[in-house]
Amino acid sequence: MSLELTILMPCLNEAETIEVCVRKAQGFLASRGIQGEIVVADNGSTDGSQALAEKSGARVIRVPARGYGAALLGGIQAAHGKYIIMGDADDSYDFTALDPFVDALRAGNDLVMGNRFLGGIKDKAMPPLHRYLGNPVLTWIGRVLFHSPSGDFHCGLRGFRRDSIMSLSLTSPGMEFASEMVVKATLHDLRIVEVPTTLSPDGRSRPPHLRSWRDGWRHLRFLLLFSPAWLFFYPGLLLLLAGAVTMGWLLPGERSAGRIVFDVNTLVFAGAAMVCGIQAMIFYVFAKTHAVRHGLLPEDDAVDRLRRILSLEVGLVVGLVIFLSGLALAAGALHFWGKASFGNLNPAQSLRLVVPSATLLIVGLQFIFSSCLLAILQLDIPDKVAPHTDLSRDALRPEDQQRIERVGQQ
């Protein structure tokens, strides 16, 4: 059965509000003449929410896997509508005022986000911690990392084309599902718009399911893991540049800034910064390669070109050249030590050879081993022979049988 709209409500012990939400949604469909349905994705309610939802006219989908995202994923899969508008079943969103969402979806948009900061947040509808810190900061991070047009990443009222969202292969079972939908829609260049949405105090007498710090961390964790450039590449580049500049500054001799003297101790930290920076940048290539090959992130032309340029052979040669350069400096340090009859050395002099040498040796080995690992990550997985494949002699083509017989006679 094909319908235009499914109004989807995740539910976990919402007996106090589920009936009024379903009735409002039904009233909206009837008043607008929309062919639609109300689906309640129940996540294991123990307060009778399922029966109340069915009594009110909703179709109840029981989702055994726990979590906000798990409930919505189950509801999306079970929905019959071309479009889906999802909203919490706690009566904090007005299901009689969904016209902006429907109009934007009919206009060809893939994802229509509600924005509570544009539509208004009523008194006591959102805790101050969420209103002034959690939501603005996490949304700002998401906009910076992914260039998303959404100004409210965590609004629970949003509409979307079912086929477009299904194509994103969403997987998050918890509250971070809200961020995953926006991030993946942005990365896959779906058409995203937002409409003002009013948030009202919910109608429950119990505390909300949301746990501020736990769920906030899960959102932040997701944003960082889906942005390997900001997690690895940019911090690594900053460390590499800072270490290289500092090492170049200190190699000729000690430097001072007022009463502060920088010498070989700082040189050691500069070398460590370079090693860590290069390793972080290599991690970026690993993470991007893994994410693209497993469908977690879309293809990236720049990274794809880089992987082709930095083949196993090129990586081995570059790593070997860097390693041999470090080895040459190590030989110079050994010669310097020999001139002192292999006795005690002045660290301020000897470390100016030893630190760059050790840094180059480590970086060279990093390149060699990382090139091997990157080649392994890019290996194609061969198709397995199907269990029912007939490999008997009778299944061979006549010319193959003749060739086998000739070989056997020889």
- Separation between Cα atoms, residue 280 and residue 233, nearest integer Å: 6
Helix (H, G, I), strand (E, B) or coil at 169: coil
Q: Hey, what amino acid is at 213? A: W
E strands within 170-259? 192-196, 255-257
The domain segmentation of the chain, as residue ranges, is 3-225, 228-377
Paired strand residues for 84: 6, 160
The reported pLDDT for the residue numbered 292 is 84
The reported pLDDT for the residue numbered 338 is 86
Residue 51 neighbours by CB under 8 Å, 6+ apart: none
- Separation between Cα atoms, residue 18 and residue 203, nearest integer Å: 10
* Residues in the chain, pLDDT under 50: 384-393, 395, 404, 407, 410
CA torsion 362→368→369→370, rounded to 10°? 100
The reported pLDDT for the residue numbered 392 is 47
- Separation between Cα atoms, residue 4 and residue 159, nearest integer Å: 12
Helix (H, G, I), strand (E, B) or coil at 201: coil
Residue 100 CA: distances (Å) to CA of 121, 194, 357, 393? 18, 9, 64, 66
Pairing, β 81-86 against β 3-11? parallel
- Separation between Cα atoms, residue 298 and residue 296, nearest integer Å: 7
pLDDT in tens, 195-212: 999 999 988 877 777 777
- Separation between Cα atoms, residue 296 and residue 293, nearest integer Å: 8
Pick from 213, 130, 218, 141: which is nearest to 173 by CA? 218
Residues belonging to the chain:
410
pLDDT in tens, 333-358: 898 888 888 888 888 888 999 999 99
Burial class (CB in 10 A: 0-12, 13-18, 19+), 118: middle
- Separation between Cα atoms, residue 186 and residue 368, nearest integer Å: 36
The reported pLDDT for the residue numbered 143 is 94
Which tokens in the block code for residue 392?
A: 């008997």
- Separation between Cα atoms, residue 249 and residue 197, nearest integer Å: 56
CATH number belonging to domain 3-225: 3.90.550.10
